[in-house]
Chain A
Amino acid sequence: MNIKESKRFRDIIWKSIAYIVITVFGALLIIPFFWAVSTSLKPAGQEFTYPPKWIPEPFMWENYRIALTLLPFATFLKNTVIITVFATIGSVLTASLAGYAFARLQFPGKNFLFMLCLSTMMLPYVVTLIPTFILFKFMGWVDTFYPLIVPSWFGGGAFFIFLCRQFFMTLPLDYDDAAKIDGANEWYIYSRIIMPLSQPVVITMLIFNIVNHWNDFMGPLVFLHSMEKRTVAIGLRTFLTSMTERSDWNYLMAASVATTIPILILFFVAQKYFIRGVVMSGLAGR
């Protein structure tokens, strides 16, 4: 065997070992999903057999219908959508404005304000939670959607500002200069030149807004109390509390799987933007 062949042989061995290792661990990560889906399709009682059956018999697709109507999940979904839509508009608008100022404009105190903005990403949210709650309580906003929407209209979160700034910095300055020669001001450049070129970052912001609002737990838990105001995440928690005595794990798994699927679909549809956002968060100091 010559050197070249032995190197190829070693390569194959290495690759096989690598495949086996990543497949075993990958399987361990995916099995919980199979387990949840399998349980969600079992007829009542079948989840309590030992050793467990992996394939339900028969498939109870109506578990999903039952689970999602025992509590008003349609209302929860509607509430989540309302909050997400209105918060996202504010977030995209105000974060892109701030990001544009940080990326393209010169003004006194720029570096200080930008560092201040970045540092808020490290602040534990519970530090501001109690006074914010008291503030909204006195404004009569508790048990309304305002506490979950209005803050997004004020900068939309430091991470989104950072995301916009980083993206805008990659756009060529020539565009701005050309427009300035034609007499355009900053608002014109922002709305007619920068934003139309910024579709990727806007999509990334949309996705992260949707995911954040879909998953947010502490916010709705603190601010939304009555049943008809709850979001999907809180509704799912309520469903768990209402189920524990009955231990209907098939319904619980059906509801859990059903609330996970929209996020999975979003991921597969917009994988590129998803990953880009995560990578950017790595740069942000989040």
Chain B
Amino acid sequence: MSRLPGYKRREAINAYIMLAPWIIGFIVFTAGPMIASIVISFMDWPLLQAPKWIGLGNYKFMFKDELFWISLYNTIYYTLIGVPLRVIAALCVALAMNLKLRGISVYRTIYYIPSITPAVASSIMWLWIFNPDFGLANTLLGYIGIHSRIRWIYDPALSKPSLILMSLWGIGGMMIILLAGLQGIPEQLYEAAEIDGAGLWHKFWKITLPMLSPSIFFVTIMQVISSFQVFTQAYVMTRGGPANSTLFLVLYLYQNGFEFFRMGYASSLAWALFMFVLVLTILQFRGSRYWVFYEGELRG
């Protein structure tokens, strides 16, 4: 309108200058390394020596590598069982924290706080909690009359469920996101439903869940992505044991890259992981059409 074309051009130039740090960073620390990572995955590169092109060698090795399959199985187990449990638990907590009760903000704080405990500190705390002889977990079970000495993370059959149990402790962040979603649901919807005689159950299934579905979808997507990258707990607490039962993909990748210095193989593992995450995310987006309700389009 009254703006001169030259003004617009200056604005665009300034915008690019302001974006320059991010754009450079994107090229140097994201796009560049991604491409480099593909190239390196076709190489045998023991860091201190010169890299050697071996084509699909790393990927062929991966297919026959038993530890890769074990780590993939462990990661999928941790994701497929852990994520639904965490999301459902976070949803239940968020619903409870949305109740109009006196002092509810104190409860919100209590439920949120475990999630900000630094990962290494919480890992060491849980190592002690899971101690078979003197730990809190068996002590609490003892109080309710169960005096079995469960070996938790030290038992190959229970190590993954134990880590999932521990992860349930840290759902506070998800709870906050879902709670914000719940608080964004317009009160009139419930009022209208009540006039029509809808009960609690009906209101939950017909209003709360559909209106909350974008938030649930979002936390699920992010949980799957982060669950596939589980590392710190396993590295600090179990180092992949016992009997490789907590050897997760990123832990195995870390070992290959930074303990055995197999840069090529580690890169191919990174791409395998990335492909799994990408496929899972795309599948979830496809599936979301059938259950995620977006009212954003209605609101404009």
Chain A interfacial positions (CB closer than 8 Å to B): 15, 18-19, 21-23, 25-26, 29-33, 35-36, 39, 47-52, 94-95, 97-98, 100-102, 105-108, 110, 113, 116-117, 120, 122-135, 137, 151, 153-156, 161, 185-187, 190, 211, 214-215, 217-218, 221-222, 232-234, 236-237, 240, 249, 252-253, 255-257, 259-260, 263-264, 267, 271, 274-275, 278-279, 281-282, 285-286
Binds A, one of B155-163, B190-198, B266-274: B266-274
Q: A51-B142, A101-B15, A127-B270 are in contact. Are A233 and B119 (CB under 8 A)?
A: yes
> Count the B residues whose beta carbon is within 8 Å of the partner chain — how many?
89
CB atoms of B18 and A186 under 8 A apart = yes
Docked CA distance A240–B131 (Å): 15
Residue of A nearest to B12 (CB): A107
Report if B210 contacts A (CB, 8 A). no
Interface of chain A, main secondary structure = helix
Contacts of A108 in B (CB 8 A): 12
Task: Tell me the smallest distance from the CB of A81 to a CB of chain B, in Å.
Answer: 15
Interface centre among A98, A116, A126 (most CB of B within 10 A): A126
Report if B283 contacts A (CB, 8 A). no
CB atoms of B19 and A97 under 8 A apart = yes
Docked CA distance A122–B142 (Å): 43
Report if B281 contacts A (CB, 8 A). yes
The contact of A286 among B125, B222, B274, by CB within 8 Å, is B222
Docked CA distance A211–B173 (Å): 13
Task: Tell me the smallest distance from the CB of B183 to a CB of chain A, in Å.
Answer: 10
Residue of B nearest to A261 (CB): B121
Residue of B nearest to A250 (CB): B128
Task: Tell me the smallest distance from the CB of B269 to a CB of chain A, in Å.
Answer: 8
Contacts of B14 in A (CB 8 A): 101, 105, 185-187
Q: Which 4 residue pairs of A and B lie closest in terms of their CB atoms, listed nearest first?
A: A154-B25, A155-B22, A282-B177, A131-B36
Report if B53 contacts A (CB, 8 A). no
Number of residue pairs A-B, CB distance < 8 angstroms: 259
Binds A, one of B65-73, B76-84, B223-231, B286-294: B223-231
Q: A21-B96, A128-B30, A215-B119 are in contact. Are A29 and B169 (CB under 8 A)?
A: yes
Docked CA distance A259–B119 (Å): 10
Residue of A nearest to B237 (CB): A240
The contact of B139 among A26, A52, A125, by CB within 8 Å, is A52
CB atoms of A130 and B257 under 8 A apart = yes
Contacts of B10 in A (CB 8 A): 185
CB atoms of A126 and B250 under 8 A apart = yes
Contacts of A127 in B (CB 8 A): 33-34, 37, 270-271, 273-274
Per-residue CB contact flags for chain B residues 35-61 toward chain A (1 = under 8 Å, else 0) read: 011001000000100000000000000
CB atoms of A218 and B231 under 8 A apart = yes
Q: List 23 A-B contacts (CB under 8 A).
A: A32-B136, A32-B169, A50-B133, A123-B34, A126-B229, A126-B273, A128-B34, A130-B270, A131-B34, A131-B36, A135-B33, A154-B29, A161-B22, A190-B18, A218-B232, A237-B236, A240-B236, A256-B124, A263-B117, A267-B116, A278-B173, A282-B180, A286-B222
Task: Tell me the smallest distance from the CB of A165 to a CB of chain B, in Å.
Answer: 11
Report if B218 contacts A (CB, 8 A). yes
Report if B211 contacts A (CB, 8 A). no
Contacts of A132 in B (CB 8 A): 29, 33
Contacts of B139 in A (CB 8 A): 51-52
CB atoms of B117 and A260 under 8 A apart = yes
CB atoms of A52 and B134 under 8 A apart = yes
Contacts of B91 in A (CB 8 A): none
CB atoms of B25 and A151 under 8 A apart = yes
CB atoms of A186 and B11 under 8 A apart = yes
Task: Tell me the smallest distance from the CB of B146 to a CB of chain A, in Å.
Answer: 14
Q: A19-B101, A260-B121 are in contact. Are A48 and B134 (CB under 8 A)?
A: yes
